[in-house]
Structure 1
Amino acid sequence: MNPWALPLILTAAVVLAWLRLGWRQWRAPGAARSRGWRLALLLLAQPVLAALLYLTLSPQQTRMAEPETLTILTRGGSVAGGRTVALPEAARRGGIEQAPDLATALRRHPGIRALRIRGEGLTERDRPAARGLAIAFDPAPLPPGLIAMTPSDRTAPGGPFRVSGQVEGGGSVALLDPAGVQVAAAPVDAEGHFTLDAAARMPGTALLRLRSRSPRGLVTSELAVPVRTTAEPGLRVTLLGGAPGPEVKFWRRWASDAGLKPVVRVALGAGLALGDPTPPLTVGGLSRVDLLILDERSWAALGGGERAAVAAAVRGGMGLLLRVTGPVPPGYGAAMGLPLAGGAASAPVRLLDRDGKSLPILTRRVVQVGARDAQTLLADATGAVLAGWRPLGRGRIGAWLVTDAAGLVSAGHGEAYGAIWARLVGTLARAGTSNAPRFDPLAHRGERTALCDLLAGDTLVLPDGKARRLLPDPATPGCAGYWPRVGGWHGLRRGDTIRPFYVHAALPAAMIAAERRDATLALVRDRPDAATVRDVSLRPGASWPWLLGFLAIAALLWWFERARIGRPADRRPD
């Protein structure tokens, strides 16, 4: 039944009663009309009767707690009646029982089988105690500010990295470097999501700041964004060039600065070559190479056995990048499923920097790629393909068509040059075989965080340089729990290397509230019978007091309409 049907019917009845009283008063002779106060009482009695009848037929619901249900107040929660216990995060209220944690509250109230949680939600401390119970959750509104953030795990020197997340309350976000200079900014979308792109610089660790502002421009929250810039550990890249030139010179400088292990050898003609000792071009020798870079002239100089060894090494996991600096010789890349043709003609390349400004015009070779499954790796502002790749076995083979990318460095755009090569190398190079440890990117002081993919002998290094032994979690092999007491850069020592990770001193209030809300909602979803807790919390109120009142007023009105009080003495009762 429509909830508005009964009020509308009773309202119509009151209006009809008023019209009836008014019509009778108007039709009566002047001397026989009722006194004004009598008419006013009769008119007022109609809505009173209608209200009492409405409360009789639809009594107000009352909030009642089941004998086996306990209401738990967390931060921001409000009292709703019934047996209630406040956890330490909730504001202290007189007359409300306090408990240091949920487990203590359950021990004080044996027999509890259902919880009603009000406020932000349960902390990590109390979630294990709530498992196995039916749970209803009344979340408090989130405060404005950052509620989620995902930083880049690792960035190659000169390469791009991305920071994404979500903001409650709308507005905009900005990414600031350690000097406070804005490096990226963007408004949030209708759902509060955002994505910011920036470029890494020198190897090492750095702390950027992510700042959110409300639609009015007020700062709502700030959060440190740790950036770890390093090359893939042990990444070995070999470049074989058919002739010397600025491309090889600037590439070697970038590779050394980026922390790679470059091996460069350039042919000078007449059987002479200049550069480093290169590994033998055999399957065994190339197993020690993560990425091999060739141009069309060095490819043409390879023998049949060497080409077969390169193809076998790619199928085994090595990456191969084919540079195109001139006309493509027959069969270039065809043996590995990436046939290239053309290269005699050239075309301009128009690139944009991160701010949308035009970079110096470069040149690319016009090449036809015969592989249907080839994927675009890089393209310019007009959509022209600059680099593509395809998988081959466990490795990848790619093609690079730009001939003068070093012009970016000489024009003062070394950051853009580094970003291009970081993407090429990061996409094509052999994937690492060792399991890198995993950390929570939002680990913060005073809360448990998990360290996973650990090996025997791994030790924790605190910001002050002291080492701590990790105790493995018996329930999760390869993981260990850690409760950081201080914020800052920590490290995981594995052998001779230390893998840094950052612990936040504190997170924005909105992010903490969102994490507790989501974790508590996950507990609710794990218990399909949790909805019954909410259903029993509201019960219809008693209707008999309203019925007695309705009967009493109706009887009194029936007597008053027939009494001669307020009417002329010679008038008969209605």
Structure 2
Amino acid sequence: MPDAQTLVALLIVAGALLAAVRLLLLRRRGWAGGALAALSLASGALLWCTLFPPLLPVGGETLVVATAETPPDFRADPGERLVALPEAPTLAGAERIPDLATALRRHGQVQQLQIIGRGLTARDRDADAGLSTRFDPLPLPRGLARLDPPADTPAGGLFALGGAANGMEGGSAELLDPAGRVVDSRVIGADGAFTLGGAARAPGLTTFTLRLRGRDKALVSDTPVPLRTLAAPQPLRVAVIGSPSPEVKYLRRWAEDAGFDLGASLNAGAGVDLGGGVRLDAASLRETDVVIIDDTALGTLGGGGRGALAQAVAGGLGVVVRMTGPASAAARSQWRALGLTVEGGTEAAPVALPPLAPDADALAALRGPGSADAPTGLNTLEDPVPELGLWTIRAGSQLVPAVTDAEGALVAGWQHRGQGRVLLWTLPESFALVLSGQSDRYAQWWSKALSAVARPDRQFRPALAPLVQTGERMAICGLAEGARITAPDGAETALAIDPAAGAAGCAAFWPKVAGVHTIIQPDEEAEERFDFLVLPDGALPTVRAAETGAATMLWAARQNAPSARTLPERRGPAWPWLLGWLALSAALWWGERRLRNAGA
């Protein structure tokens, strides 16, 4: 259905045409009737412009937005309106505003933006302004311009941190441990980049110090750097279910050598279980990370066993379904119940194996000096590769490849179900890799498969920014209802989970004091805790200045993109068109009356 503006236009056109035709028929000869008909059409156009004045571009006023480190003596030029954000200094003639969005609402007539000072904070970069924007970042001050803190490191492992300093060529970067001892140092080159490292000791959160010194050894800055050292992870809990076979034999041997907490249920018939038995109830499956089950054993579980397995997968369990033969329609239906949707699986194809190493020297380096169990001459580049086959399957984009051969054929792939994953292993006789001297490839492929589906790390490790300062908004994800934060001064803050975050479980937090904060989250058994360090305000001045300037440059470029360069428009005044329409209507009335009198 046409909108109101279109309907009004149709009515005006119809009325003007009808009036023009009537005036032409009123007097068929002479020019008077034609002139009045033309005036009638013009009257209709003026009426349209009165009801819907033409759009006019907004005036060319520029909104100048002052941010941090704006020169105190800055003055706006004619045609500019100066506003100051909360972090800007006191400026003569500037209007104080709480944020950029408020300024845009108050001054809707502006056509351009100019950002002066250090740049917009994250508060004002959340939304686009839709106006042409100019921003010239200030030069960075001398000091630490970039800091890449170390990742979480296992106890006893080595960690590394990187960074860059501005204006400090010839100076030095030093890493100090919590006791104040220098554990590493580097000379800063022309590009300012440096990398430092050390060893992680006892599990927990510790604070190292990054110290910058100038060319004259004078102290420039001390920056706290948090390091989280992780305790040794618990062994992976794996259950192998199936029938006794060479494949299961070598799979169990590899799992035991890898240090897994292994359980097995191997049905030899007549009620004999050679593996010791594995229970598939809800309680046992909650204590298991990965279940490796062959397709035959899955079919004999029964509806109750498969249902318990599917429910455990939704709760985070990883399941590996190992194909021992061609897939039947019933088998594929059982896989779908677990969360694995594939087609095919009835045809076999050869496996293309890549070479063991690029050359003999690389293979020797990979193998090491050898031992009695694995002599150096066991594997050579000249050894024939084993002839292996896999069952070819067809799946959509939901299936994620975990292991592929040299030509990209799928050896193993997984799909999500709830919080867990189900993987299909299509290589029925992978143990032949071990028999042909390629045990490393066998271990690598099975390690990739189990790593892809194993239950997530049981340690409570929410996701948050590595460097946080007081007064800055931060996002924390991986939370559940009831989570709270305890500050160093003992104050507790309940975290409100954002419903829009969905399963990510994210909440916002504004730390007020520096020091170690603790995230506390209720669990089924006990409360889980996670410590993180909040740096004092101003601990990273040059880093934050660089980040703010770069982010504001990107924001301004987005405003200046061709798709965003539409100038704001508004309706022009209607009164000039109204006066014109009234004058022309009066002329039409007078002319039509004269024409009628002359015809009489």
TM-score (norm 2): 0.48
TM-score by length of 1: 0.50
